[in-house]
Amino acid sequence: MPADRTTDPIRLLVEAAAYLRTPEATLYYWRHKGTGPRSMKVGRRVVYRQSDLDAWLDEQATAAA
């Protein structure tokens, strides 16, 4: 079940990179190419919802199987 958008934690790009254990530059590149987790801009900051990061990880695991 998807997380409630009002309680779904928002992660900054730095936090998302640490969560995914990937360099920040890689997340920027994936965002540019449109292949990474769903993201959005809030002001000048790129942020990610925790549920979007988890869903993207699940998609990657399914694609690898």
- Three-state DSSP state, 41: strand
The crossing angle, in degrees rounded to 10, of helices 50-64 and 13-20 is 30
65 pLDDT tier (thresholds 50, 70, 90): confident
| pTM for the structure as a whole | 0.83
CA distance 3 to 50: 9
Confidence (pLDDT) at 41 = 93
27 vs 1 pLDDT, higher one? 27
pLDDT in tens, 3-39: 555 668 899 999 999 999 999 999 999 999 999 999 9
Confidence (pLDDT) at 6 = 61
Two tokens at 21?
Answer: 């254990």
Confidence (pLDDT) at 12 = 93
